[in-house]
Amino acid sequence: MSGTITTLSNLSKITIEITLGELVDRITILEVKRENIKDMDKLRHVEKDLGSLSLILGSIRYYDGCRMAHVEVPDQLRHELYDINSDLWDTLDAQRKIAYDVTGQKFIDCSMRVFELNDRRFEVKSQISAIVDSTAPTEQKEYV
């Protein structure tokens, strides 16, 4: 058997299709990281990624039925997604601090809060993605 095997270590970048909601979610997560991470080396990576994704968001155009238009993500949805991701950061931090006390009510409360925040995050991302008629793969949820 002959051929070339490409491994992730050979790749500098992987391109995938995502929805507008996923892109805005990723940007707001990077904004939360920028505010919370103290290590300068890590912050440089966060800033680089944030800059790249912000440029992509600023360059997106879609056909609105009459003309090509820039995508305008409503500030209210963007801020709500940022707030959810910031709250998730804080909640998961608190959960990590008490993780060994798995029978404690604080851990249970943090876990429930993570579920609630992720459900709301999914709803906001879906609303943002609905701004454009996307053919990108969409996130699906189902719980038992």
C-alpha dist (Å) from residue 78 to 15, 108, 129: 24, 29, 12
Q: What integer pLDDT is reported at residue 111 of this predicted model?
A: 86
Q: Please state whether the predicted TM-score (pTM) of the whole model is above 0.85.
A: no
- Contact between 19 and 134 under an 8 Å Cβ cutoff? The reply is yes
| Per-residue pLDDT at 1 | 45
Q: Where are the domains of the chain?
A: 17-129
∠ CA 109-115-116, nearest 5°, is 90
84, exposed or middle or buried, with CB in 10 Å at 0-12, 13-18, 19+? buried
- Across the 144 residues of the chain, what is the mean pLDDT of every consecutive 10-residue run? 55 80 96 96 96 94 82 94 96 82 76 92 90 69 64
